[in-house]
Protein backbone atom coordinates (compact mmCIF):
# COMPACT_ATOMS: atom_id res chain seq x y z
CA UNK A 1 0.00 0.00 0.00
CA UNK A 2 1.06 3.57 -0.57
CA UNK A 3 0.04 6.85 0.95
CA UNK A 4 -0.26 10.09 -1.01
CA UNK A 5 0.24 13.55 0.35
CA UNK A 6 -2.81 15.77 0.43
CA UNK A 7 -1.93 17.40 -2.88
CA UNK A 8 -1.36 13.96 -4.45
CA UNK A 9 2.22 14.72 -5.44
CA UNK A 10 4.18 12.43 -3.12
CA UNK A 11 3.75 8.71 -2.78
CA UNK A 12 5.19 7.07 0.32
CA UNK A 13 5.20 3.35 1.05
CA UNK A 14 3.44 2.03 4.09
CA UNK A 15 5.03 -0.65 6.24
CA UNK A 16 4.23 -4.20 5.24
CA UNK A 17 1.39 -5.30 7.48
CA UNK A 18 3.46 -8.25 8.76
CA UNK A 19 6.20 -5.89 9.97
CA UNK A 20 3.77 -3.92 12.10
CA UNK A 21 3.40 -7.01 14.32
CA UNK A 22 7.13 -7.18 15.11
CA UNK A 23 9.01 -5.38 17.84
CA UNK A 24 12.62 -4.19 17.81
CA UNK A 25 13.23 -4.93 21.48
CA UNK A 26 12.72 -2.91 24.62
CA UNK A 27 13.97 0.48 25.76
CA UNK A 28 15.65 1.20 29.11
CA UNK A 29 12.28 1.49 30.84
CA UNK A 30 11.09 -1.86 29.48
CA UNK A 31 8.76 -0.33 26.90
CA UNK A 32 8.40 -1.96 23.50
CA UNK A 33 10.44 -0.37 20.72
CA UNK A 34 8.53 -0.57 17.42
CA UNK A 35 10.13 -2.09 14.34
CA UNK A 36 10.98 0.60 11.81
CA UNK A 37 12.90 0.95 8.57
CA UNK A 38 15.60 2.84 10.51
CA UNK A 39 15.98 -0.02 13.02
CA UNK A 40 16.39 -2.52 10.19
CA UNK A 41 18.80 -0.23 8.34
CA UNK A 42 20.91 0.28 11.45
CA UNK A 43 20.96 -3.48 12.05
CA UNK A 44 22.51 -4.07 8.62
CA UNK A 45 25.47 -1.97 9.77
CA UNK A 46 26.36 -4.69 12.32
CA UNK A 47 27.36 -7.15 9.59
CA UNK A 48 31.07 -7.12 8.71
CA UNK A 49 32.18 -5.29 5.59
CA UNK A 50 35.79 -4.70 4.56
CA UNK A 51 37.30 -2.04 2.34
CA UNK A 52 39.35 -4.82 0.71
CA UNK A 53 36.25 -6.50 -0.72
CA UNK A 54 36.29 -6.30 -4.54
CA UNK A 55 33.67 -4.04 -6.10
CA UNK A 56 31.47 -6.86 -7.48
CA UNK A 57 30.83 -8.70 -4.20
CA UNK A 58 30.77 -5.38 -2.33
CA UNK A 59 27.99 -4.06 -4.58
CA UNK A 60 26.01 -7.28 -4.16
CA UNK A 61 26.34 -7.08 -0.37
CA UNK A 62 25.27 -3.42 -0.38
CA UNK A 63 22.21 -4.31 -2.46
CA UNK A 64 21.46 -7.16 -0.02
CA UNK A 65 21.63 -4.78 2.96
CA UNK A 66 19.40 -2.28 1.14
CA UNK A 67 16.83 -4.98 0.30
CA UNK A 68 16.87 -6.29 3.86
CA UNK A 69 16.00 -2.86 5.27
CA UNK A 70 13.41 -2.26 2.55
CA UNK A 71 11.81 -5.50 3.70
CA UNK A 72 10.08 -3.26 6.25
CA UNK A 73 7.91 -2.09 3.35
CA UNK A 74 7.84 -5.31 1.33
CA UNK A 75 8.42 -8.36 3.53
CA UNK A 76 9.45 -10.59 0.62
CA UNK A 77 12.56 -8.44 0.12
CA UNK A 78 14.03 -9.98 3.27
CA UNK A 79 14.38 -13.37 1.57
CA UNK A 80 15.54 -11.70 -1.65
CA UNK A 81 18.26 -9.96 0.37
CA UNK A 82 19.46 -13.33 1.63
CA UNK A 83 19.73 -14.76 -1.86
CA UNK A 84 21.61 -11.65 -3.00
CA UNK A 85 24.04 -12.03 -0.09
CA UNK A 86 24.63 -15.64 -1.16
CA UNK A 87 25.37 -14.41 -4.69
CA UNK A 88 27.94 -12.03 -3.16
CA UNK A 89 29.53 -14.86 -1.25
CA UNK A 90 29.73 -16.97 -4.41
CA UNK A 91 31.27 -14.09 -6.37
CA UNK A 92 33.82 -13.53 -3.59
CA UNK A 93 34.76 -17.22 -3.57
CA UNK A 94 35.18 -17.19 -7.36
CA UNK A 95 37.49 -14.17 -7.18
CA UNK A 96 39.51 -15.35 -4.19
CA UNK A 97 39.97 -18.84 -5.62
CA UNK A 98 40.33 -17.63 -9.23
CA UNK A 99 37.83 -20.31 -10.23
CA UNK A 100 34.45 -20.56 -11.89
CA UNK A 101 33.78 -24.00 -10.41
CA UNK A 102 30.38 -24.83 -8.99
CA UNK A 103 29.49 -23.23 -5.66
CA UNK A 104 29.72 -26.66 -4.03
CA UNK A 105 33.29 -27.06 -5.30
CA UNK A 106 34.19 -23.48 -4.34
CA UNK A 107 33.10 -24.16 -0.76
CA UNK A 108 35.14 -27.37 -0.68
CA UNK A 109 38.22 -25.57 -2.04
CA UNK A 110 37.86 -22.73 0.46
CA UNK A 111 37.68 -25.27 3.30
CA UNK A 112 40.70 -27.20 2.00
CA UNK A 113 42.76 -24.00 1.73
CA UNK A 114 41.53 -22.80 5.14
CA UNK A 115 40.21 -19.55 3.69
CA UNK A 116 37.03 -19.79 5.74
CA UNK A 117 36.62 -20.53 9.45
CA UNK A 118 36.76 -24.22 10.34
CA UNK A 119 33.31 -25.77 10.39
CA UNK A 120 31.67 -23.01 8.35
CA UNK A 121 31.46 -25.24 5.28
CA UNK A 122 28.24 -26.78 6.57
CA UNK A 123 26.56 -23.39 6.92
CA UNK A 124 27.78 -22.39 3.45
CA UNK A 125 26.46 -25.64 1.98
CA UNK A 126 23.09 -24.90 3.57
CA UNK A 127 23.21 -21.46 1.94
CA UNK A 128 24.02 -23.10 -1.39
CA UNK A 129 20.95 -25.31 -1.07
CA UNK A 130 18.80 -22.28 -0.26
CA UNK A 131 20.18 -20.46 -3.30
CA UNK A 132 19.49 -23.48 -5.52
CA UNK A 133 16.00 -23.87 -4.11
CA UNK A 134 15.13 -20.28 -5.02
CA UNK A 135 16.72 -20.42 -8.47
CA UNK A 136 15.33 -23.78 -9.55
CA UNK A 137 11.87 -23.46 -8.08
CA UNK A 138 11.31 -19.95 -9.42
CA UNK A 139 9.24 -19.13 -6.35
CA UNK A 140 9.53 -16.05 -4.19
CA UNK A 141 10.23 -17.32 -0.68
CA UNK A 142 9.10 -15.58 2.49
CA UNK A 143 11.44 -15.88 5.47
CA UNK A 144 11.21 -14.59 8.99
CA UNK A 145 13.86 -12.18 10.24
CA UNK A 146 15.09 -15.03 12.45
CA UNK A 147 15.68 -17.17 9.36
CA UNK A 148 17.29 -14.33 7.44
CA UNK A 149 19.69 -13.07 10.11
CA UNK A 150 22.15 -16.00 10.07
CA UNK A 151 22.24 -16.08 6.26
CA UNK A 152 22.95 -12.36 5.99
CA UNK A 153 25.50 -12.37 8.81
CA UNK A 154 27.33 -15.47 7.55
CA UNK A 155 27.50 -14.24 3.96
CA UNK A 156 28.98 -10.94 5.11
CA UNK A 157 31.41 -12.68 7.48
CA UNK A 158 32.65 -15.09 4.81
CA UNK A 159 33.29 -12.28 2.33
CA UNK A 160 35.08 -10.29 5.05
CA UNK A 161 37.21 -13.37 5.88
CA UNK A 162 38.08 -13.86 2.21
CA UNK A 163 39.08 -10.20 1.80
CA UNK A 164 40.25 -8.87 5.17
CA UNK A 165 41.40 -5.29 5.51
CA UNK A 166 45.20 -5.07 5.35
CA UNK A 167 45.36 -3.55 8.83
CA UNK A 168 43.36 -6.43 10.35
CATH number at residue 120: 1.20.120
Q: What is the pLDDT of residue 147?
A: 87
10 located within any domain: no
Phi, psi of 145 (to 5 degrees): -65, -35
Q: What is the pLDDT of residue 158?
A: 93
Give 24's strand partners.
none
17 located within any domain: no
Residue-range definition of the domain harbouring residue 67: 36-162
1 located within any domain: no
23 located within any domain: no
25 located within any domain: no
Q: How far apart are CA 29 and CA 76, in angstroms?
A: 33
Q: What is the pLDDT of residue 112?
A: 93
| Residues 64 and 152 sit within 8 Å (Cβ to Cβ) | yes
Domains: count for the chain: 1
What is the pTM (predicted TM-score) of this model? 0.87
Per-residue pLDDT of the chain (168 residues; tens, 9 = 90+): 555 556 666 677 899 999 989 999 999 999 999 999 999 999 999 999 999 999 999 999 999 999 999 999 999 999 999 999 999 999 999 999 999 999 999 999 999 999 988 878 887 888 788 888 888 887 778 888 988 898 899 999 999 999 999 986
Q: What is the pLDDT of residue 126?
A: 81
Q: Give the total residue count for the chain.
A: 168
125 located within any domain: yes
Element (H, E) at 23: strand 23-26
152 located within any domain: yes
22 located within any domain: no
Neighbours of 79 (CB within 10 A): 22
Amino acid sequence: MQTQSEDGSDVWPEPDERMTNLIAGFDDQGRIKPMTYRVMREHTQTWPVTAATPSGPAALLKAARDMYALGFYSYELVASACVWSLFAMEAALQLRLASTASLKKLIELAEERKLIPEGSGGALSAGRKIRNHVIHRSVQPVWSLGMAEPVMCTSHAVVADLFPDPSA
